[in-house]
Structure 1
């Protein structure tokens, strides 16, 4: 019940929800309390919200937002979620873009290998996220990146072959998401490629077609996007982007392969950082 929380400022909102910073009275533990107005929700929207609770409770991973439970009060439904105190990746990218500052490659792999770890865990639980984007990657002041907003996710049973509903954010949709053939876990890998590209270029690879959905879908179907800044990043990073942003899903890595590759690159750049610090004391 809300009486168990000290609720303060609003920290976010979605199409049918508001999120508030709150502290549990008994423990002073901080949470993100998501408030849903039941009367303004369709049956499908309410199912989506309840789905988020069920999905999050199935996952125990430091790179996926933890769900502490939910409750109904009056005409509202509340979900108590882990609070990420440093905002989200979209905000960090926006700040860098406004300041004209690119991410170092070490920083990119530091965040990205954690995102891949979260996706690996979701896919291991047969959960397809379907809406991976910077705004759904939450950050903590301790340097953790955590995947959240699983309301559009769904669980694939071992017998399920493909999903066909079109949900998610257009800039991050894989080509097969716009066709009638259906899609599977590799569509999340395409979205990972979009996130990695955006960490390099500070914009979505398919940004710029806000007024023309057909033109956007054609660019996605033909995989047309500007190159990332020249001479700034390694050959391996550029190859990783191209391998994720491949039109044929079968040619993309799976979540385990993506996590392994990203972790190796993160380890490489962390080793270089430690060597530099040892040599120059910085």
Structure 2
């Protein structure tokens, strides 16, 4: 792959280290991906460890190839001082964008819609954890959506591989609202169950359109204290099932060992999705809607 293989259409967004463009794929590879998200890393102002973060993302994504629920990495190349990664393009923005649309229109998700998206997020996380990949920055902005109804986990730039011998990580990275209590370095480290905490935060936000710990925007200490004691407002009392509320509380257990693992979370979420899809099918059969 090289720069002339792609025609940039527009800028999709910018991150701390990179820009992302929508581009036409003119290579003979991956003909099913006519449009790609081309991620450009400007290396001239970056430290070596930041450049290596980009290489890590490629390696991680290529370990989960052709996934239904993880963004596919098509390839990478370097040109002058810039490094490019060609990624599968999700053509319906991301979950955070969808949350903002709901807020602006004064709408909440139906429980059926929640389980429809959430069981896919769980499936993607299960695949990552099966490959010993800890995401470390799971949040709505990193859940990408397609027009065919797929939800895909992306942006693995903060991920790392846990070897079979690795027990705990201690690096302070991620987005504050979704950090588990043990992510505070004083607590001695974290593991895969920290991703499950973030999963619980996402599920809560799907119900309320706000982070469970939103509100402490200027005071990092106050935010961490709320997270440390797991204090958050209840979800709407009569709108969602007790199973959904139990799932949130299980994922947001202060003690990591009390949270489900990714396989258990996926199994439970898939069953709830099947239940609501079955109810919908019965309703359509009975009322023709």
TM range (shorter): over 0.9
Report the Cα offset of residue 187 of structure 1.
0.2
Does residue 153 in structure 1 map to residue 154 in structure 2? no
Tell me what 2:223 maps to. 216
Q: Distance in 2 between matches of 1:89 and 1:281?
A: 30
Tell me what 2:199 maps to. 192
Tell me what 1:202 maps to. 209
Tell me what 2:17 maps to. 16
Report the Cα offset of residue 179 of structure 1.
3.6
Q: Secondary structure at the match of 2:270?
A: helix
Q: Distance in 1 between matches of 2:7 and 2:48?
A: 30
> What TM-score do the two structures reach when normalised by structure 1?
0.99
Report the Cα offset of residue 2 of structure 1.
1.3
After superposition, the C-alpha distances for 1:230-269 in whole angstroms (9 at most, x for unaligned) are 2110000000000000000000000000000000000000
Does residue 173 in structure 1 map to residue 179 in structure 2? yes
Report the Cα offset of residue 184 of structure 1.
0.4
Give 5+ residue unaligned stretches, structure 2.
none
Identify the match of residue 55 of structure 2 among 50, 54, 66. Answer: 50
Whether contact under 8 Å (1:56, 1:150) holds in the other structure is: yes
Q: Distance in 2 between matches of 1:74 and 1:271?
A: 54
Whether contact under 8 Å (2:12, 2:20) holds in the other structure is: yes
Q: Distance in 1 between matches of 2:221 and 2:25?
A: 47
Q: Distance in 2 between matches of 1:40 and 1:104?
A: 45
Q: Distance in 1 between matches of 2:222 and 2:103?
A: 25
Whether contact under 8 Å (2:94, 2:143) holds in the other structure is: yes
RMSD: 0.8
Q: Secondary structure at the match of 1:10?
A: strand
Runs of 4+ in 1 over 3 A off after TM superposition: none
Give 5+ residue unaligned stretches, structure 1.
none
Does residue 104 in structure 1 map to residue 110 in structure 2? yes
Whether contact under 8 Å (1:21, 1:33) holds in the other structure is: yes
Tell me what 2:144 maps to. 138
Aligned residues: 282
Report the Cα offset of residue 136 of structure 1.
0.1
Q: Distance in 1 between matches of 2:259 and 2:64?
A: 24
Tell me what 1:40 maps to. 45
Report the Cα offset of residue 42 of structure 1.
1.4
Q: Secondary structure at the match of 2:147?
A: coil
Whether contact under 8 Å (1:65, 1:146) holds in the other structure is: yes
Whether contact under 8 Å (2:172, 2:185) holds in the other structure is: no
After superposition, the C-alpha distances for 1:184-220 in whole angstroms (9 at most, x for unaligned) are 0000000000000000000000011110000000000
Q: Secondary structure at the match of 1:108?
A: helix
> What TM-score do the two structures reach when normalised by structure 2?
0.96
